[in-house]
Structure 1
Amino acid sequence: MLSNNVQTRLSKFMSKILRHSPEKFGLHLDSDDGSCAVADLLDVLRAQPEWSELSLNDIEEVVERCEKQRFEIVGDRIKARYGHSHDKVSYPTGVPPMVLYHGTNVEAAPKILKQGLRPMHRQYVHLSEGLDFAALAGKRRGELVILSIDTVKALRAGIEFYYAGNEVWLADAVPAEFCSVYERGEGSGRNE
């Protein structure tokens, strides 16, 4: 079993490879879903002196224990669920819960409430079904503010939502009219 510190470092390194610069490490991702063979990722990781003794079980442990659920293994393939900065990865459209959440900070919230949610340097806007994940994503940016997204109205207006797995939803953008500051007791999130 990996220590928490080692697990965190490995998770960040896997994110760097799978989300941001696979080509730098000679890794080729499937153009449809952004996946690669777990064995190929393991070879890339083992080529780094720090990770030369890494095992398949170590990768599986990071995938399973990653608090943010950044990765997914299906069969013999692995992918980053979201957050790619290389080729845009496609996700299936779906009908999300009536309310989704987005964690941000006190500085960004007023701007979002005027201009809406935009992906900024990412491919998509990241939303979550529950408050816990929104808080986890938002608290690293400063004093936390959680926004609620009225998906019923957004869907009626033609906004598409994509399911990335593990309670994470994505959108190309969410106009301000569908965003509001979350007030305890509202919404239908799972983790209230």
Structure 2
Amino acid sequence: MNYRELSKEVSYALRHAPSEYGLVLDENGWVDVQELLKALKENNKWASIELNDLLSMIQAADKKRHELVGGKIRALYGHTIPSPIKKEIAEPPEHLYHGTARRFVESIKEKGLLPQERQYVHLSVDENTAYEVGKRRDEKPVILRIKAKLAFMNGISFYKGNADVWLSDSINSEYIEFH
């Protein structure tokens, strides 16, 4: 089984289009794993999928994108569905990073970082990851250093996505250093 392809399919179902799969996420983004398996089996490509395949997919992932607990599964971040997925506020590290295309820099200086089509702004714990993310939209991305701890102390909410990804509703430009 191609776990990378499966991960993309599960991410699409849980982050962007649960209704296309007949799924209803709870307020924390969870869905019954048996419902997800049933929905995936309806697609001939995943007709033989079993619970162990989902477990192997999660284990094989280079980044932690999904979690399976107590018979339920969810995507940890990246949602574009209209209903907000609730996250617990957590104190971030001193600095976080965000890679962006050069064409967005002036807008970010003016308006700060906004979630755009996602529910949250995605931030990385290190510059290398931010650079790789930024390269998706620009071959020479700009790396923004976020004064996360200071922003948090001044009332900006942060949420831990996983070990490498932090989320925020938005980041005011005063907390952004442009490099």
1:37 aligns with 2:38: no
Choose the corresponding residue for 1:129, options 125, 129, 141.
125
Aligned to 1:103: 99
The CA RMSD over aligned residues, in Å, is: 1.7
Q: In 2, are the aligned partners of 1:113 and 1:180 still within 8 Å (CA)? A: no
Task: Give CA-to-partner distance per residue, 1:127-154, whole Å, 9 cap, x none.
Answer: 1222343233222112222211001321
Structure 1 segments unaligned to the other structure (5+ residues) = 183-192
List structure 1 runs of 4+ shifted beyond 4 angstroms.
none
Q: Distance in 2 between matches of 1:166 and 1:55?
A: 27
Q: Distance in 2 between matches of 1:128 and 1:52?
A: 36
Q: Distance in 1 between matches of 2:42 and 2:4?
A: 19
Q: Name the count of aligned residue pairs.
A: 177
How far the C-alpha of 1:63 sits from its partner, in A, is 1.7
Q: Distance in 2 between matches of 1:34 and 1:171?
A: 17
Q: Distance in 2 between matches of 1:67 and 1:134?
A: 15
Superposed, which structure 2 residues align to 1:108-187 within 5 Å?
108-143=104-139, 144-182=141-179
Q: Identity of counterpart residues, as a percentage?
A: 39
Task: Give CA-to-partner distance per residue, 1:94-145, whole Å, 9 cap, x none.
Answer: 1100001112122223332332100011111011222343233222112222
Q: Distance in 2 between matches of 1:132 and 1:40?
A: 37
Q: Distance in 1 between matches of 2:35 and 2:128?
A: 33
The change in CA–CA distance for 1:172 and 1:65 in structure 2 (over 3 A counts) is same
Farther-moved stretch of structure 1 (131-140 vs 34-43): 131-140
Superposed, which structure 2 residues align to 1:15-34 within 5 Å?
15-31=11-27, 33-34=28-29
**Amino acid paired to 1:173:** S
Q: In 2, are the aligned partners of 1:68 and 1:133 still within 8 Å (CA)? A: no
Calculate the TM-score normalised by the size of structure 1. Answer: 0.84
**Amino acid paired to 1:47:** E
Choose the corresponding residue for 1:74, options 69, 74, 81.
69
Structure 2 segments unaligned to the other structure (5+ residues) = none
The change in CA–CA distance for 1:117 and 1:90 in structure 2 (over 3 A counts) is same
